[in-house]
Structure 1
Amino acid sequence: MTISRDQVMDKVVALTKRRGFIYPSSEIYGGLSGFYDYGPYGVALKRAIRDLWWRHMVELRNDVVGLESTLMMPEAVWEASGHLQNFVDPLRQCLGECKKRWRADKVLGEKCPECGGTLDDARMFNLMFKTHVGPLEDRASEVYLRPETAQGMFVDFKNVISSTRVRVPFGIAQQGKAFRNEITPGNFVFRVREFELMEMEYFVRPHQDEEAFDYWRKERLRWYTDVLGVNRERLRMYDHPQESLSHYSKQTTDIEYEFPFGWGELEGIADRTDFDLAVHQEKSKQDLTYLDPETNERYLPWVIEPAVSVERIFITLLLDAYDEDVVNNEPRVLLRLHPNVAPVQVAVFPLSKKQELIDVAQMVIGSLRGQFRVEYDQTGGSIGKRYRRQDEIGTPFCVTVDFDTLTDQAVTIRRRDSTEQERVAIATLPGRLTELTR
């Protein structure tokens, strides 16, 4: 069924609340703008995204290692990296009735988009959250919540090369929370103030960045289409012009997705040269050079960085998968999620609440648990209603235990997208589902 792209976002937002993907944070107290909690299915989807990223960026490679650095870092780190000076957005505040604040580059004219009041002159606003460590709130105790995970990998670069056997070219990967005090968070979880980043710094020899940059551009795009199942027609590459590059970047390509509100960044791949290692070496007075065992040369490696937030992938997958159609003359809502990312991969139902069916269904789900993300449902609703619930959360396969199962030791697999069914022996069920989820 063709759905207007203008309607998809509202429909997805409603579905995520209704089916336990996302809740507004602290909702019973009125909520907190730019912050969201993730329900049972949201947690499962986020974990699938994280695990797939880690598997393909670290576990399936022999040239990338992992790191987990702290959420808080001292001011000196952010002064060296340029974030204190450059991690800013232009801010304008309404002087009229609503007093709202707006990003100046997102507002047209001199009037407030909310109430029509006059806007004040633009000023720069730093996006980092500042707090204090220890009992005294003085200048010496100031620290910042990280707006990216990258700096942890740069300041630990020397520790990694001295404690492991990595050799350039190699990467350091990290997943973890980051915080940005966005002036105007919006478009649901597309732009929020607390989010989870997945970043990798890939270190190469100086001036040998072009080949690595091209490789990671192609590899990251392939991951979205081949592993996550994102529609290729809704993805594109956007090469930033020189005037829009970040202060650390020689060149940057965004993988963009066609969201209902327009094309937007899904992931960025940046060529950071040796900017970060150079500034940290200068400010810390520590030698961060790498001794190349092949050439016996010391140098600061250059860096290619693929970086993406879990939340951007999360909302992209839901928007890309949302669909509506008609089955047996009844409308249904479904998420056509790839089995790799579906919060529930296999749901198991006994046809009725008869104990003999429940016993077999429990045995069946026990044989699948640990191999697949599974859910069991023996509620009294009709089998059709239970199918619809699973369709809405994106479950690709439902397994039904019926009265024939008691005699033929077989179950029915029902496919989400086509609603086709096939009869499979219980003994061969795990193998058949493995084939179907590939």
Structure 2
Amino acid sequence: LCKRRGFVYPNSEIYGGNQGFYDFGPLGVEMKNNLKRLWWKWMTVDHENIVGIDGAIITHPKVWEASGHVKNFSDPLSECKKCHHRFKQDDLAENRCPDCGGELTEPRNYNILMQTQLGVIEGEKINAYLRGEACQTIYLNFKNVLQTNRLKIPFGICQIGKAFRNEVTPGNFLFRQREFEQWDLQWFCHPSEMEKWFDYWKNERMLWYQGLFTHPDNLVFYRHEKLAHYAEKAFDIQYSASPFDGSEIEGIHWRGDWDLSRHSEYSGQDLGYTDQGTGEKYTPNIVETSGGVDRTFLFLLLDAYCEENDRVFLKLNPKVAPYKAAVFPLLANKEELVKKAREVFLSLKSEITVSFDDRGNIGKRYYSQDEIGTPWCVTIDYQTLEDNTVTVRDRDTAKQQRLPIDNLLKHLLNLLK
């Protein structure tokens, strides 16, 4: 469905594909942009003490030494002594090659940072990394943001951006990619208030996701016992339905003062904070919420997929759906109906994303829009020409009602609130 309807395409498909990379099609990019707009509003517009940045993908190489990624950002792999295929330890049920049954070597760590080179002259090129996580540019700009925006602790910095990981075993469609998009909040606070803010953001993020998903009960918290090198406490928001039961959508991490302290040490710059009221100087602690945009996209599609009798539809939250409405003339070969349908389409288009479709019979058009999750279909028929009313069909119930064209946009906007 994702490829057929234009949500997601395999990258470089005409050349046989490119494992771990995907392209978002016309519907996919609309839905993804809807998600990012909703996230940005929730995290920045609705808060007076959270601001955004957009950091570079390539930073100074020492950034990744300071962050611990050069040393710790690795996967343990075992190699088959017979066929020489390599496997992550997490993917092995027993100490035998899943492909040929051969004996496996002891696991070795392989760093999954993606490397590149800067410069064009041989011998003068500099080794660098594509960022393995988007949050590091927030820490690098902590002092800049603090000074230019005249902020006081506690405050947050948000970012949506690409990250890259040289995954050994990319797979499960959008779940594990080598290039993906993250949305991050880094919340800076006094060490004594970490517990309060950690619990606050943990609950806030779950509420936000529950408001998006068709079946919010499929979202659960998971507490990590084994922690990353930067974390003192960590919870995941997981999607708990088959076939991705127990898969992470977002992590909420108690990062403490690890990041600012490390970058202070490696850069020689003071990244501490002085409270102007009390004179106390300290290194702010950080609560991080870091989620996968692509994973959220994937799980929303899975969660919204419905089959009822002979009908297939995506029960997407209307705010997320690529198109909010579709406009049809009842018959494509009747000029007066097509003309009126175009008028209605253009009157809606400036306010909401809407599609126009006059292909095939009306039943096929409904089927097509159901499959891409369009919440409402507007049909212009002969009665429209008489009394200026249209039929509005609801995606989830398939029920129809007639509305005056003059009230149509207001009606749809009210439904979207």
TM-score, reference length from structure 2: 0.97
- Identical-residue share of aligned pairs (%): 47
**Corresponding position of 1:128:** 113
Any residues of structure 2 matched to 1:317-336 within 5 Å, and which?
A: 317-326=300-309, 331-336=310-315
On the 8 A contact 2:253/2:287 being kept in 1, the answer is yes
CA positional deviation for 1:296: 2.1
Amino acid at match of 1:255: I
Question: Residue 114 in 1 paired to residue 99 in 2?
Answer: yes
Selected match of 2:366 from 384, 387, 390: 387
Question: Residue 263 in 1 paired to residue 246 in 2?
Answer: yes
Amino acid at match of 1:365: F
Any residues of structure 2 matched to 1:226-241 within 5 Å, and which?
A: 226=211, 228-241=212-225
Q: CA RMSD in A?
A: 1.3
SS at 1:316 equivalent: helix
SS at 1:161 equivalent: helix
Number of residue pairs matched by the alignment: 415
CA distance in 2, matches of 1:127, 1:136: 26
On the 8 A contact 1:271/1:304 being kept in 2, the answer is yes
Any residues of structure 2 matched to 1:283-362 within 5 Å, and which?
A: 283-326=266-309, 331-353=310-332, 354-362=334-342
CA distance in 2, matches of 1:37, 1:119: 35
Question: Residue 436 in 1 paired to residue 415 in 2?
Answer: yes
Selected match of 2:232 from 250, 254, 270: 250
CA positional deviation for 1:383: 0.5
**Corresponding position of 1:159:** 144
CA distance in 2, matches of 1:185, 1:435: 42
CA positional deviation for 1:294: 2.2
Amino acid at match of 1:388: Y
CA positional deviation for 1:139: 8.2
CA positional deviation for 1:275: 0.6
Q: Show structure 2 runs of 5+ residues with no match.
A: none
Question: Residue 73 in 1 paired to residue 59 in 2?
Answer: yes
CA distance in 1, matches of 2:303, 2:124: 47
**Corresponding position of 1:412:** 391
SS at 1:37 equivalent: strand
SS at 1:208 equivalent: helix
CA positional deviation for 1:137: 5.4
CA distance in 1, matches of 2:322, 2:17: 26
Selected match of 1:364 from 341, 344, 363: 344
CA positional deviation for 1:280: 0.4
Q: Which moved more, 1:99-108 or 1:183-192?
A: 99-108
SS at 2:327 equivalent: strand
Amino acid at match of 1:235: L
CA distance in 1, matches of 2:335, 2:44: 46
CA distance in 1, matches of 2:108, 2:33: 39
CA distance in 2, matches of 1:120, 1:302: 41
On the 8 A contact 2:273/2:281 being kept in 1, the answer is yes
Question: Residue 144 in 1 paired to residue 126 in 2?
Answer: no
SS at 1:207 equivalent: helix
Q: Show structure 1 runs of 5+ residues with no match.
A: 1-14
Any residues of structure 2 matched to 1:217-232 within 5 Å, and which?
A: 217-226=202-211, 228-232=212-216
CA distance in 1, matches of 2:192, 2:214: 33
Question: Residue 175 in 1 paired to residue 160 in 2?
Answer: yes
Distance 1:314 1:290, change over 3 A: same
CA distance in 1, matches of 2:103, 2:26: 44
Amino acid at match of 1:187: N
